[in-house]
Structure formats: C-alpha cells, structure tokens
Structure 1
C-alpha cells in the first residue's frame, strides 16, 4: 500500500470517528433500527424463498417484531414493575437484616472490630436517597417534561426506530449490493471475505447470544418463581441480560438469588437447594443445548473483548458507543486475526537469516 493510500484510509477512519462523536446524540434511533434490521434480514430472506415478495416478507417480520414487543410491554413490564416496587418495600427490612444478622455473624467469624462496617452511616445515606426517589414514575415524567423540545425529540426518536427499521429491512439486499459495487475491483474478493468473517462473528454473537440470553432469562425466572422466590422474575431477567458475557449472568444471578433466598427463607435448606439447582440446570442447558444449537461452532467474541468494547464505547460516545461497540470489536478481531496470519507467513516470523549477521 502506497503512502497516499495509507493517508486516505487513515483520514477516512478519523472522519468517521469525528462524525460519530459530533452526531452521537441523534444516531441512537438509526443504530437501533439498523440492529433490528440486521437481526430480521435472515428471516425475511427465508420468507422470500417461500415465494413471498420482499415487501410482504418485511411486513411479516415487522408484524412479528411488533407482536413480541407489545407482548413484553403488556405482560412482562407490569410484572417487573410490581417486583421492583416490592424490592423497594423490602429494602429497609433487607438493610435491618444485614445490620443485625448478616454483618454481625460475618464480623464474629472474621474477628473484626466493632463498628468496622460503619453500617449506620451507609443505612442513613441509602434511606435518605430512597426517600427522595420514592415516586420513580413522577421523577421520570418530571425530567422528561422539563423541556418541551426534549420531550418532542424523545418521542420523535421513538417513532423513528420502526420507520427506519422498515425501510432498512426492505432495501437491505439492495444496499448491500450497491456497497459491493463500489468496492475497488482488485480488492473486492478480499474485502467481501473479510466482511463475511465479520458477519459470521456478529451473527454468532448478536443473533445467537441474544437468543441464549432470552432462553436463560426464561429458565432462571421460571425456576426461581417455582421455588417460591419472591423476586424470582426480577433476578431471572437480570441474570438473562447479564448473560451477554458468558458466565456473568450465572454469577450475578446465583449470588443475588442466594442473598434474596437467605433473607426470605431464613436459610431453610430445601428452598436454597432449589435456587442452586435452578442455576445448575440453566448452566448445563446453556453448555449442552442452547449454545451448540443457537450459536454453534462459529467464532464469537471473547468475553474480555465484549466487556472492554462495551465499557470503552460507553465512555467515548455514551449509549451510541455501546451500540457501536460490538460491531467495531468484531471488525477489529477479524483484522487482528488476519494480521496475525500475515505475520506468521512473513519473513520476520519465518526467521530468514540476514547474511550480514
């Protein structure tokens, strides 16, 4: 690659980053719509193979997404709201239990000095904060309506997502074909091969891992509710969402569930064994059924890469950066793999001896 080309590509990357940084506040609905279109395109392609037109296929996928969203909104959200309110009601009791039962027991076992925890100050700070945030809905509405323009912008973004998603999904194949036609002819095959690898990584992670997250959330929530855990649905959903990073959902979920179980059941053996059994079964199903079936043997992103990409994206560009984090990480991972292969095939790694040495 000549110096001119290097500067051209470097300038393009810098301009792209500057573009994202300047417009990140308005990019969120477009990126969410792009993500939904990316996830829905394979289903639309399958419907097209059944002799349906592209528009009818997109309408079918769009209606399916809408029904799923409305179902979650009408069924899951009210149930979660009730459990969040219940958690708010139980918070003072949980603090008292920690202060008078859990922490003294830990202090006695570890031989810590009296007043080591300074829990009275922590409890006072938490109670004061909770007292100020009692009416959560009222605070959210107040913040949303402080500026009419902000409220209008928020509603506009909400409406933009399905509109942009529909048009992207309908014209997805056409846009991909136009992008491919603009590629340099002598580099087309190489660029398409790299893009296919990025697509494989993203497909394995976004489509596969998201389905695994949903399945684990259902398994954990249903199991904990069957055990009788009062906050089972809330903990199951949180554990499912945390499963975006392998094993993180299991650790967060079982830790939260055991803590809630100790508080609710008072250390009764059978409910606690039931809680542990729920997460053991979920972990076994993930390893033996869910991941092989939904993700397969395709190469996914390393958990450390996922954590770093999400944190770095959020720090640099806020929520927009979080949405861009995984695609960018997938591209970087594919490029790093090819640079590694080029290095292994190079004379530097091969060890050709310099006759002057």
Structure 2
C-alpha cells in the first residue's frame, strides 16, 4: 500500500508540474501524452492485480505467436485455418506421446531419486548430509597425503590442518547443506501443492485453439483501432517490435531445443564414464532454462558438476572435465550458434537484463523471469522510437567538450572553446575563428 501511495503521489506531482510548466500552445499535446501515460499505468496495475490468473492466457498467446508463421504457411499451401490448427495439434500430440513413452519413465525415476531423500519421513535426510560431510573429509585427507608425497614438510601440512580445523569447515558446510535441503524441501512441497491447483493446464488447449484461430483478426482489430493518420507510424513501430521479439522468441525456442538435445546426449554419454546420476533430468533442465540469460546456463552447468561430484566418484578431476565440456558447449552456443540463429544481440546491456530478471521475478514469479527479457526488448524499442538519441551513435569526431562541457579547475569563468583542427571542415554556419598566421582568409 505504501509503494502504491508513493507511485500515485509521484505521478500526481509530475502531472501538476507538466500542466503548470507547459505553454498553452503545447497543452493539447501534453494532455494526449498524459492520457497515454495514465492508460499505461492503469494497464500495468491491472496486469499486476490479475497476475495470478494470467498464465492460462499469456502462455497460449505466446505459443500462438510462435506458431502463427507455421499456420500462415499452411494456409498459403491451401489448408483452412481450422485444418491447419488441427494438423499442428496432431503433430504436437504425437511428439508428446513419444516423449511420454521414451522420456517420462526414466525422467520420473531420476526426479523421484532426487526428491526422495529430501522428502524423507521426519524432514531432512541426515544420512545424506552426513555422507556429503564424510566425502569432504576424505577430500581433505587425500589432499594432505598428496602434499606429503610431493615433499611438502610435515610441519607445514599439520599447520594447514590446524588452520583448517579453526575454520570449522565441517560445521559451516553442514549448516549450509541443511539450509539447502530445507529450501529444496519447501520448494518440492510448494510444487506438490501447486500441481493440484493448476487447473489452468486443462484450459491451455482450449485457449490456445482460440488464440491460434483468431490471432490474425485480433491483430487487424488492434490496427483498426489506431487513428488513420497514425497507422503508418504505428505499423513501423509494431514491425520493429515484431521483428526483434519474433527473432528472440523463435530463436531461443530453437536454441533451447538444440541445447537440451546436445547436453542431454553428452550427459548420458558421461553417465557410465563418471558413474553419476540424473543425466537425463539435468540435460532437459539445461535446455528448458537456456533462454533465461546468464542464470539458465550457469545454473545448469553448476548443478551438473555438483551431481557428477557428489553422486559419482567424488573426483575433482572428473568434475573439472565435466565443467570444461559443459561450459564449452554453452560457450559454443552463446558465441557461435546463437548469433546465427537469432541474428545478433538484442541490444540490451547486461545490467538491464539482470534488472529485468529480478524485477520480473519479484512481481510475477517464474512467469516474470521468463518474460523479463522480451518485455525489456519491447520497452527498449519503444523508447528508442520516441527518443532516437538513445540509440544514435556519438560521432567519432565529437570532442569530449561538446558532449560534456569542460569546467575550469577554479570553477570560475567560461570554459575555453574547442579549437577546430585543420583537417576538420568548418561549415558556413560554424563559429568564425581566427586563422593561424601565414594563411589568408577569403
């Protein structure tokens, strides 16, 4: 409530300032701008208020947007819209059927093996955590033996062990593992409670059908609502957004599928070599989270390395080799394949992407994290359309003083005007300067 009141107060002050500081000649333009701004604020407030029921409408809308080019292509080949939708449904059902038969049984077993220790009767599985502590102790003793065999003096090794004991690593690690297990238990319980309440999954095929059927009429209706004298400008802006957003969503959908297939295959190949568990689950998790910038690839690699170490041979060498392989695959996709599929960067600074992810997650949860970057891309395009200087490059011959005026050290007097060099063409409208001696002015 406090945040809402603060936002309302700030908006009210901005409106009051705009109406008092604007000349009468520009008042009509200010009113239109204010009406648009208030409309956007009300729209955002409505979205925030109804965010709990948005998934059954937002998810099928995104899917319909991704599938619309396929439906248009089928219509171009002679299919009716309804027949094209039914064909897409049949293909999707066949793929889901194959996945249910081939992927779901082993995936369910791996997830059950992963969750069962966490959801053990009586709360946290202490034996699992104690086993992790013992593995860490074995690692410490093995390191001491390695140092002694390498010729390190025994006194130095004993001193290192004393310093290690003073750090109380075991106690701290045990506390950290308990906290992680508690969080995983809470997450698993929350998911178990949510699955029973996600009735919107039953609505997904129905809402998806209507969105796919009416996608083009809905787009034409929105275009018709625009005043005729603004349609060309709106069409240009909408085209820019559609190009960037479509390239991003369809590109990352394809990339996520490719990453999931490649990493799942690699992890399944490494499973008998490193003798670890959860390869299928971790590979599918990597593919389904790849589209989340920075967080997705980092989390998938980290979880895979931890799984290889704790459920495998507890070897740092194996974990290091796995990290190199998985990180190498992610780097290959990020730097080589992704630019060719998506067509380059979305043009957002990494700090803006991180801010968008945090803001989306704070207000809309997982759905907000998923939609954070596409929404940020749309906002960036709109801002650059109305404020072109945000995207305009600074000319290479622009002096720093022209961008940021220089101030004298004493803070007094006017800053010296920059002198044009001889290789700069001074136009007729430029400030007249005194020519150097030896040159005649015309």
2:198 matched residue in structure 1: 154
Deviation of the 1:286 alpha carbon: 5.3
Shift of 1:218: 1.4
Task: Please give the per-residue CA displacement for 1:82-121, whole angstroms capped at 9, x wherever unaligned.
Answer: 2233335594476234541346759987984425245336
Cα distance in 2 between the residues matched to 1:185 and 1:132: 55
Task: Give the corresponding residue for 1:318.
Answer: 365
**Correspondent of 2:174 among 113, 123, 135:** 123
**CA displacement at 1:339 relative to structure 2:** 4.3
- Partner of residue 2, structure 1: 29
Q: Secondary structure at the match of 2:94?
A: helix
CA distance in 2, matches of 1:258, 1:281: 14
Does residue 189 (structure 1) correspond to residue 236 (structure 2)? The answer is no
* Residues 60 and 208, structure 2, Cα contact 8 Å, conserved in 1: yes
Q: How far is 1:166 from its partner?
A: 0.5
CA contact (8 A) 2:308 2:314 kept: yes
Residue matched to 1:96: 133
Q: 1:165 aligns with which of 208, 211, 224?
A: 208
Q: Match of 2:338? A: 291
1:148 maps to none
Match of 2:259 among 204, 216, 221: 216
Rounded to whole Å, the distance in 1 between the matches of 2:186 and 2:48 is 35
Question: Quick check: 1:206 aligned with 2:249?
Answer: yes
Once residues 387 and 224 of structure 2 are traced to their aligned partners in structure 1, the CA distance between those partners, rounded to angstroms, is: 29
Cα separation, partners in 2 of 1:176 and 1:25, compared to 1, 3 Å: same
Change (3 A) 1:285 1:132: closer
Which deviates further from its counterpart, 17-26 or 173-182? 17-26
8 Å contact kept, 1:133–1:139: no
Structure 1 62/83 Cα, relative in aligned 2: closer, same or farther at 3 Å? same
Number of paired residues?
344
Q: 1:266 to 1:27 in 2, by over 3 A?
A: closer
- Give the Å deviation of 1:76: 3.1
1:47 aligned to 69, 74, 94, which one? 74
8 Å CA contact retained: 1:197, 1:334: yes
Indicate which of 278, 286, 289 corresponds to 1:239. 286
Give the gaps of 5 or more residues in structure 1: 146-150
Q: TM-score, normalising length from structure 2? A: 0.65
The equivalent of 1:178 in structure 2 is 221
Matched position secondary structure for 1:215: helix
- Scaled by the length of structure 1, the TM-score of the pair is 0.78
Q: Counterparts in 2 of 1:275-290, with a 5 A limit?
A: 276-277=324-325, 279-281=327-329, 283-284=331-332, 287-288=335-336, 290=337
For structure 2, list consecutive stretches of 5 or more residues without a partner in the other structure. Answer: 1-27, 118-126, 145-156, 394-401, 406-428, 432-442
TM-align CA RMSD: 4.0
Following superposition, the deviation at residue 240 of structure 1 comes to 2.5
Residue 380 of structure 2 corresponds to which residue in structure 1?
333
SS in structure 1 at match of 2:226: coil
- Alpha-carbon shift at residue 66 of structure 1 (Å): 3.4
Q: C-alpha distance in 2, partners of 1:325/1:248? A: 13
Query: Residue in 2 aligned with 1:267?
Result: 315
